[in-house]
């Protein structure tokens, strides 16, 4: 062995030692970091017509004769969590989760949609649910609205009608007043951008207002105002006494530029994706991202319209929306590639933004819309850190489907790889991430996919009137993680069975 080889070995040992040590440190969850799982009212509760509850837009959408939902499935019974929540919460407690994210059904609390009539029975259900979560040592993360507004508001145009801003704000006030002493983490709204795209520019989700390049902009505009009003109400009437945090949950997914050096297209993809709803709240200047305004306004003008299809905020609204969140909640599942599309001959930007989103066919498939790209989580967290001055972030949804049965090795691998990217973003790159939430606790009604996409850590037998629950293997792995306070390598999986 010559000198150089010995020296080389020495260096190699040093580097691998420090590498391992660093890696070990990186895989620890920071002190106070909260891990939990999630659901939403329509997807799990069932009991669609009890306790005076009136139909929501999703009851209407799934009950329609020409329903486009897979297998014409409905949430009438779903997981029956309305009756079985104690069993669910006991299983979460057994895993060692620190929080449970769920949502409130508007029409279960306000059967007319308005505060003229409060259903005490509906309200009591949520008080009991919240108390049970707390009794079992977990923090309730409560989403006030997760897509299921009163059906009659649909006939008024739902989120395309600005009246929704005050309707929602009145509902939020009741919720803060009645439940706020028990809740420290609120999310006003879930994924407005996704609801606006799939429900207002397409007919895939309720309400199915299929007005592309128009409906989604109008919808999100009112959503953002509604959020800001709820935030203002909390500040003025409840914050001093209740001392909670109020945030919003956005779908923020990373777009890898194609070709990879096209950073400008990557930036535009981000601004017109995650930035559409995030920039108005979390940027210094507020309002929609500049590139988005330029391109949609420009297109509208070239189309000969007297105004832009992208609605304009007054300076007052820009101010009220800017800063209206104590944290940013993000949902992350997958990623896309983004490619620049040059202006057409007449100057029009294709797709309004001059970008095209594509699936890279080499990426592993989980379910139809979900390709597994763990690095994308790190990329989006670092982008949020850089663009919005490192705000507190809660990951409010992340997860994947598995096949029927309890051996969900692919889910463990998915969660491991995404959590690892998250921990590197936190511990190595300084991203201010406060919590991580797995979608979903139970197999649930997955919107247009009905009961065919199984996202649950816990399997639910939907053919059993009792909706029997069976924890999957991933719950054992998660229990170990919760005990150790650090990510466990998937090589240790053998010990789980
Ligand atoms: C509620 O809906 C169920 C179907 O999910 C039906 O069997 C039942 O009769 C309904 N109850 C009322 C009071 O309408
Ligand atoms: C697809 O992704 C792979 C792996 O990330 C990458 O190497 C490749 O360039 C991508 N291909 C296309 C056509 O985008």
* Measured distance CA(192)–CA(115) in Å, rounded: 23
Q: Which of 261, 337, 339, 360 to mutate to test the pocket of ligand 2 (most atoms within 8 A of CB)?
A: 360
pTM for the structure as a whole: 0.94
Closest listed ligand to the CA of 46: 1
Please provide the DSSP assignment of 181-242 as one string.
Answer: GG-SEEEEEE-HHHHHHHHHSSSSSTT----TTTHHHHHHHHHHHHHHHHHHHIIIIIHHHH
Write the pLDDT tens digit of every residue in 463-487. 999 999 999 999 999 999 999 999 9
What average pLDDT does the chain have? 95
* Measured distance CA(237)–CA(290) in Å, rounded: 34
Query: Quick one: what percent of the chain has pLDDT higher than 90?
Result: 93
Helix axes 81-95, 120-135, angle to 10 degrees: 10
Among candidate residues 466, 369, 455, the one with its CA nearest the CA of residue 43: 455
Q: Is the CB of 50 under 6 A from ligand 1?
A: no
Write the pLDDT tens digit of every residue in 385-418. 999 999 999 999 999 999 999 999 999 999 999 9
Residue 155: partners with Cβ closer than 8 Å, 6 or more residues away? none
Write the pLDDT tens digit of every residue in 265-318. 999 999 999 999 999 999 999 999 999 999 999 999 999 999 999 999 999 999
* Measured distance CA(449)–CA(366) in Å, rounded: 14
Stretch 137-152: mean pLDDT: 98
397 assigned to active site: yes
Can you give the residue ranges of every domain in the chain? 32-250+369-492
* Measured distance CA(65)–CA(461) in Å, rounded: 26
Residue 177: partners with Cβ closer than 8 Å, 6 or more residues away? 237, 238
At 101 the pLDDT is: 98
Question: Would you say residue 15 has pLDDT above 80?
Answer: no
At 19 the pLDDT is: 57
Active-site hit among 397, 421, 446, 449: 397
At 497 the pLDDT is: 53
259 preceded by a cis bond (ω within 30 of 0): yes
Question: Would you say residue 157 has pLDDT above 70?
Answer: yes
C-alpha dihedral sign at 436, 442, 444, 449: positive
Closest listed ligand to the CA of 76: 1
At 495 the pLDDT is: 61
At 417 the pLDDT is: 97
Write the pLDDT tens digit of every residue in 215-244. 999 999 999 999 999 999 999 999 999 999
CA 299 vs CA 245, 294, 441: distances in Å: 39, 8, 43
* Collapsed DSSP state (helix, strand, coil) of residue 276: helix
Residue nearest to atom 7 of ligand 2 (CA): 362
DSSP-derived secondary structure letter, 389: T
Stretch 3-8: mean pLDDT: 44
Question: Would you say residue 494 has pLDDT above 80?
Answer: no
Q: Confidence class of residue 496 from pLDDT cuts 50, 70 and 90?
A: low
CATH of domain 32-250+369-492: 3.20.20.80
Q: Confidence class of residue 489 from pLDDT cuts 50, 70 and 90?
A: confident
């Amino acid at each position: 062995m010559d000198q150089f080889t010995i020296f080389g070995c020495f260096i190699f040992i040093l580097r691998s030692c420090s590498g391992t040590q660093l890696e070990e440190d990186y895989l620890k969850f920071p002190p106070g970091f909260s891990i939990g799982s999630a659901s939403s009212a329509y997807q799990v509760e069932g009991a669609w017509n009890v306790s005076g509850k009136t139909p929501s837009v999703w009851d209407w959408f799934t009950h329609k004769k020409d329903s486009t939902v897979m297998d014409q499935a409905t949430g009438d019974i779903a997981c029956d969590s309305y009756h079985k929540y104690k069993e669910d919460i006991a299983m979460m407690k057994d895993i060692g989760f620190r929080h449970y994210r769920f949502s409130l059904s508007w029409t279960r609390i306000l059967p007319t949609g308005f505060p003229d009539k409060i259903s005490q029975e509906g309200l009591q259900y949520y008080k009991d649910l919240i108390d049970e979560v707390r009794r079992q040592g977990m923090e309730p993360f409560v989403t006030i609205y997760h897509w299921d507004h009163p059906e009659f508001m649909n006939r008024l145009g739902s989120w395309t009608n600005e009246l929704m801003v005050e309707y929602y704000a009145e509902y939020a006030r009741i919720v803060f007043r009645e439940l706020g002493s028990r809740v420290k983490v609120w999310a006003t709204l879930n994924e407005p951008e996704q609801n606006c795209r799939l429900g207002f520019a397409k007919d895939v989700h309720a309400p199915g207002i299929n007005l592309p390049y128009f409906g989604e902009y109008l919808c999100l505009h009112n959503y953002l105002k509604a959020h800001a009003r709820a935030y203002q109400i909390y500040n003025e009437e409840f914050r001093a006494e209740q001392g909670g945090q109020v945030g919003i949950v956005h779908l923020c997914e990373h777009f890898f530029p194609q070709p990879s050096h096209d950073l400008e297209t990557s930036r535009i993809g981000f601004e017109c994706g995650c930035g559409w709803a995030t920039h108005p709240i979390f940027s210094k200047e507020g309002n929609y991202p500049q590139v988005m305004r330029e391109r949609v306004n420009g297109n509208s003008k070239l189309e000969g319209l007297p105004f832009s299809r992208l609605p304009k905020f007054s300076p007052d609204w820009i101010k009220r929306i800017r800063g209206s969140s104590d944290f940013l909640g993000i949902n992350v599942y997958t990623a896309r590639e983004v490619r620049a599309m040059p202006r057409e001959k007449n100057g029009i930007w294709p797709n309004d933004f001059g970008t095209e989103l594509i699936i890279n066919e080499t990426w592993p498939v989980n379910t139809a819309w979900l390709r597994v790209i763990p690095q994308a989580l790190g990329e989006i967290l670092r982008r949020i850190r850089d663009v919005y001055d490192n705000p507190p972030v809660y990951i409010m949804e992340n997860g994947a489907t598995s096949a029927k049965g309890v051996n969900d090795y692919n889910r463990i691998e998915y969660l491991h790889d995404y959590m690892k990217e998250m921990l590197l973003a936190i511990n190595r790159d300084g991203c201010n991430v406060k919590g991580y939430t797995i979608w979903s606790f139970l197999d649930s009604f997955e919107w247009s996919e009905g009961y065919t996409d199984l996202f649950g850590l816990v399997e639910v037998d939907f053919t059993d009137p009792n909706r029997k629950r069976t924890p999957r293997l991933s719950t054992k792995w998660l229990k170990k993680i919760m005990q150790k306070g650090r990510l466990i390598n998937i090589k240790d999986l053998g010990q789980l069975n």
